[in-house]
Amino acid sequence: MRMKFYTLVSILISAAITLPSVGAQGRGDAIVIRNARIFTVTKGVIENGSIVITGGKITAVGASVSAPGGARVIDARGLSVYPGMIDSGTTIGLTEVGQGAPGTVDTSEIGDNNANIHVDIAVNPESSHIGVTRVNGTTTALTMPRGGLIAGQSALINLDGWTWAEMTLKARAAMHINWPGGLGGGFEFGGGQQRAGAELRREQDRRIEELKKILRDAIAYGNAKDARARDASLPRMETDLRLEALVPVARGQMSAVIHAQVERDIKKVIAFADEMKLKIIISGAVEGWRVADQLKAKNIPVIIGPVNRMPNREDDGYDAVYTNAAMLHKAGVKFAFQTMGSAEARDLPYQAGESAAFGLPKEEALKAVTIYPAEIFGVADQIGSIEVGKLANLIITDGDPLEIRTQIKHLIIRGRDVPLTSRHTELYDKYKSRP
Amino acid sequence: MKKMKAITSIAVTLALSVSALGQSGQSAASSETLIKNATILTASHGTIKNGSILIRNGKIAAVGVDVKATDPNARVIDATGKYVTPGIIDCHSHTASTGSINEGSMSVTAMVRIQDIVEPEHPNIYRQLAGGLTTVNVLHGSANAIGGQNAVLKLKRGKPVNEWFVADAPPGIKFALGENPKRSNFQPQPGQQRRYPATRMGVEEVIREAFIQAKEYMAEWQEYEKKKGTDSKAIPPRRDLKLDALAEILQGKRLIHAHCYRSDEILMLLTLGDELGFKIKTLQHVLEGYKVAKEIAAHKAGASTFADSWSYKMEAFDAIPYNMAVMASRGVVVTINSDSDERARRLYLEAPKAMKYGGVSEEEALKMITLNAAIQLGIDHRTGSIDVGKDADLVIFSQHPFSVYTVPEMTFIEGEVYFDRKADLEGREALKREKEALIKAERGQTGPGQKKDDRPDPNLRPKESPKDQEDINR
């Protein structure tokens, strides 16, 4: 009897414990968020509104909405709702431990031309970095390959899902090219290399010519293939996966993200894109502010970051990296932020916030981690703002999401109210209760 | 001849003109400065709203709501709407040092000294002052189990470097545990042998052996000291600079700052210290400190950690940002350090992470980059908080220092202004013109023997010093 009583109690307790995860229901379940201050990003602020989520999407937003019967209610009184943030350049899902565990790192392939590789299929849905990042408010990330002259194709992933396929919002989001010479897109540690000016420039020009040749080959390959498709009497083409992957890039149909940092390199990239008629996005661009007018003239979007780095030149203003975004904004350049990492990705909002401390309007800082990246990567119909028809990628906070002390209260990805746990909260819970 | 001199002095002038930007070390005409109408975060006794700080002769002479200058000529800074904090202290830095900070050729190099390689000219010094940093603990690298001696500096940019050393800071030394001293992430050069140790077990034995040698050395000296009064032929032991430094540790005169990550190695060092009779002043990085917080507290060791860095290597994989809060809740004196000139200029944005992750109070979070660091370095009698009698090491922020939108506006060390954002911005146009004139002058003087391409390329960032490359040895 006694046994039975305890069993019953423990069943009840475990039921209570599992309840919240029952709350983390399937994509189809309806949720209504009520009494919230809603920052739609594209359509102003609704002071006391509601959001209805059904089938993983936003189906109603407004001061008064009708919710389907049986919808779970999240009372957000005193809280604010924002679109989930988007990190425009990471290696999330491709790397676990940066140094000393190469088996956990899948960022860089061998060889110069890796155009055919695409990262979506290598994203580890169980990576601890995914949970750690999303509980700070980032719901979507561009995860990208890093190795070679042509690094391969990035993917936009939602930071929740049972498989990489479920996580993928846009496979083959962009082709990544590491601009030769100068400063690459490089990570902060051991990033830049300096060689003698003339030698470096000759080598760089040679590599740029290589790159042009590869793209011209891709055009020729594409044209020949099209011709053969029209006329079967032409000789059969041998498939070249690398050139095949580059055809849409060379034809200006797929964006190329070109990683370049300094003034001279960015200028060369602009000329290169002009000559090769490419659709490009410049990533890094620590000296983007020096060429802001030219970027604007060509309407080239820029992915800034990491903001947490030193100015490039000894005599730059001490705040040159912090003011980069404000100056690009002033010139009318479209831009977004990236952390360029994986472990660092949870700090995305603070990098945007630091740029706002140094002249970028706060609303622009928020847009540069929400709607602007969605626009730059061609997914603004799906994410980046709180609008009917978009994916329900939302965060409910107790304040400004760019502020460090702000706490995330709910994290909703594709309509799922994701538990706010991660490897870090689990270790914390375990050790804070050590006797 | 005159022309030649001009050429050679161009580089120097450029560097100097950048220095002028911050009006380093500019003193007020009066010996008094009054900062008034500020929100003062004292780090020791709460927040004073609408308060004032009177600085006299480099010290804090008064702080409170009703503070006035006594000298009618005192410099008065109206800080209405602004916030004042103590100068920020970085308990783990490698700034202002030239060349390598790792004498890693042997496993014990207690004789080498950071003070011999202090480099006061690096542009990062100004950039850190612009982030409110005033005091740094410049440490040897972590390539070996017992590294070299530290230097505690105030960033008195523009002053002779001998004035930078905090004279009454107790001397310290770097220890290192784990992956770096066992060199597991580093390939030996061709023809080079691997250095002992290669395991955490070996690291323990290296430290044990060093202290046993130091004890024997101390005993030899004691014997000699005893003998020399009565025995004129007594021969003094041969002086050993390495063992001298270790002896100072055993005598409690030199503080250990020990680089460590995993809980096992942290516990090993604390246990070894208890066994051999030495104390650990600070555990550096200590990313798994939260797992052995009560043991750290029992040893009375301080902990100096990163706010949220993790997974950059295997031993950092269990790092959690709640580390600061857990250790603080167990009574450990916790600080947040940079180990990087870049991070050092935004430590005021690292501190609020202790609030976000684990709910540390605002004042406790502020202490983690000010007063607690002063305690860990043994200089809290003179800096680290806004208290009467302490050095006037202060920062004025445009907004609350923990807001992401804040900007440090002025940095004071011992009452003198070392960073002034307004002056910086106003000086930029003049600097630009000066640079253009210098470049023009140089171009005009390019001789036939000097190829255009040999000139430094402004598109390239300054050459990274070997110490940047060794950052992975953090």
Residue B415, in any domain of the structure: no
Is A404's CB within 8 Å of B18's CB?
no
Rounded Cα distance, B50 and A284, in Å:
42
On average, the pLDDT of chain A sits at 91
In angstroms, rounded to a whole number, what is the distance separating the alpha carbons of residues B349 and A403?
Answer: 10
Query: Is A250 contained in some domain?
Result: yes
Residues spanned by the domain of A351: 85-383
**Residue B401, domain member (yes or no):** no
Per-residue pLDDT tens digits for A297-318: 999 999 999 999 999 999 999 9
Query: Is residue A328 scored above 50 in pLDDT?
Result: yes
Q: Which residues of B touch A181 (CB under 8 A)?
A: none
Q: How confident is the model at residue A27, as a pLDDT? A: 54
For B471, nearest residue in chain A (alpha carbons): A189
**CATH code at A253?**
3.20.20.140
Q: What is the full DSSP assignment across A186-200?
A: --STT------HHHH
Contact A100 B291 (CB under 8 A): no
Q: Contact B453/A362, CB-based, under 8 Å?
A: no
Query: Do the domain assignments include residue B62?
Result: no
Give yes or no: residues A61 and A102 share one domain.
no
pLDDT at B22: 39
Q: Answer yes or no: are the C-beta atoms of B400 and B366 closer than 8 Å.
A: no
What would the mean pLDDT of A19-25 be, rounded to a whole number? 38
Q: Can you give the pLDDT at residue B192?
A: 84
Residue A16 domain-assigned (yes or no)? no
Angstrom distance (rounded) from CA B86 to CA B384: 6
Q: What is the pLDDT of residue A24?
A: 39
pLDDT of residue A124: 98
Short-list A50, A64, A65, A58, CA closest to A30: A58
> Does A117 share its domain with A142?
yes
**Token pair for residue A282?**
């410049």
Q: Residue range A405-412: average pLDDT?
A: 98
Tens digit of each residue's pLDDT (9 = 90 or more) over A160-181: 999 999 999 999 999 999 999 7
Give the number of other CB atoms < 10 A from CB of residue B51. 21
Cβ pair B299, B215 in contact under 8 A: no
Q: Is A360 on the interface with B (CB under 8 A)?
A: no
pLDDT at B193: 85
- Of B51, B69, B41, B63, nearest to B132 by C-alpha is B41
Query: Total domain count for chain B?
Result: 1
Residues A48 and A154 in one domain: no
The answer to whether A192 contacts chain B (CB < 8 Å) is yes
**Closest-CA residue to A142 (of A187, A104, A83, A92):** A92
Same domain, A238 and A100: yes
Q: Which residues of B touch A365 (CB under 8 A)?
A: none
In a domain, B395, yes or no: no
Instruction: Say which amino acid occupies A90.
Output: T
Measured at the alpha carbon of residue B89, what is the angle toward residues B84 and B90, in degrees to the nearest 5? 140
Residue B13 phi, psi dihedral angles, 5° rounding: -60, -40
Tell whether B370 is covered by a domain. yes
Residues paired with A430 in a beta bridge: none
Enumerate the H helices of A320-381 as residue ranges.
Answer: 320-331, 348-357, 362-367, 371-376
Contacts for A336 with CB less than 8 Å, ≥ 6 apart: A86, A88, A301, A302, A303, A304, A368, A369, A372, A373, A376
Chain B touched by A263 (CB under 8 Å): yes
- Contact at 8 Å (CB) between A284 and A329? no
CATH of the domain at A35: 2.30.40.10
What does the pLDDT read at residue A196?
A: 56
* Amino acid B188: pLDDT: 85
Q: Does A165 touch chain B (CB under 8 A)?
A: no
Between chains, do A427 and B127 touch, taking CB under 8 Å as contact? no
**A residues 44..103 contacting B (CB < 8 A):** 96-101
Asked if residue B30 is part of any domain, the answer here is: no
Q: Tell how far CA A354 is from the center of its chain.
A: 18
In this structure, are A144 and A176 located in the same domain?
Answer: yes
- State the amino acid at position B209 in one-letter form: E
- Residues A267 and A261: their CA atoms lie apart, in Å, by 10
For residue range A88-135, list pLDDT tens digits in order: 999 999 999 999 999 999 999 999 999 999 999 999 999 999 999 999
Q: What pLDDT is stored for residue A182 in this prediction? A: 57
Has residue B471 been placed in a domain? no
Determine, for residues A99 and B313 on separate chains, whether the beta-carbon distance falls below 8 Å. yes
Q: Domain check: are A374 and A394 in the same one?
A: no
C-beta atoms of B329 and A196 within 8 A: no
Q: Does B461 sit within 8 Å of A315, measured CB to CB?
A: no
Chain A partners of B314 at a C-beta cutoff of 8 Å? 97, 99-101
Cβ–Cβ contacts within 10 Å for residue A60, how many? 17
Express as a percent the part of chain A with pLDDT over 70.
90
CB proximity A408 to B under 8 Å: no
Closest partner residue to A97 (CB to CB) among B317, B343, B453 is B317
For residue A254, being part of any structural domain is answered with yes
Predicted pLDDT of residue A197: 72
Specify if B409 maps to a domain.
no
Contact flag A427-B290 (C-beta cutoff 8 Å): yes
Q: Is residue A209 in some structural domain?
A: yes
* Residue type for position B380: D
Set of chain B residues whose Cβ sits within 8 Å of the Cβ of A403? 403-405
CATH number of the domain within which B138 lies: 3.20.20.140
Name the residue facing A97 among B124, B311, B341 (closest C-beta). Answer: B311
Instruction: Decide if A164 is inside a domain.
Output: yes
SS3 B198: coil
Angle at A224 between CA A218 and CA A228, to 5 degrees: 145
Judge whether A415 lies within some domain: yes
Nearest chain B alpha carbon to A184: B460
Instruction: Give me the number of domains chain A comprises.
Output: 2
Residue A190: list chain B partners with CB under 8 A: 464, 468-469, 471-472
Look at strands A280-284 and A256-260 and give their pairing.
parallel
Does a structural domain hold residue A6? no
Contact in structure between A87 and A215 (CB atoms under 8 Å): no
Q: Which domain holds residue B349?
A: 88-385
| Interface touch B185/A188, C-beta < 8 Å | no
In a domain, A227, yes or no: yes
Other residues' Cβ atoms within 10 Å of the Cβ of residue B66: 7
* Sequential pLDDT tens for chain B (474 residues): 344 444 434 444 444 444 444 344 444 478 999 999 999 999 999 999 999 999 999 999 999 999 999 999 999 999 999 999 999 999 999 999 988 899 999 999 999 999 999 999 999 999 999 999 999 999 999 999 999 999 999 999 999 999 999 999 999 999 999 999 999 988 888 888 889 999 999 999 999 999 999 999 999 999 999 999 999 999 999 999 999 999 999 999 999 999 999 999 999 999 999 999 999 999 999 999 999 999 999 999 999 999 999 999 999 999 999 999 999 999 999 999 999 999 999 999 999 999 999 999 999 999 999 999 999 999 999 999 999 999 999 999 999 999 999 999 999 999 999 999 999 999 999 999 999 999 999 887 655 544 444 444 444 444 444 344 344 444
User: Is any Cβ of chain B less than 8 angstroms from the Cβ of A346?
Assistant: yes
Nearest residue on chain A to B186, alpha-carbon basis: A100
Chain A residue with Cα closest to B14 = A315
Residues of A156-174 as b/e, b for ≥16 C-beta within 10 angstroms? bbbbbbeebeebbbbbbbb
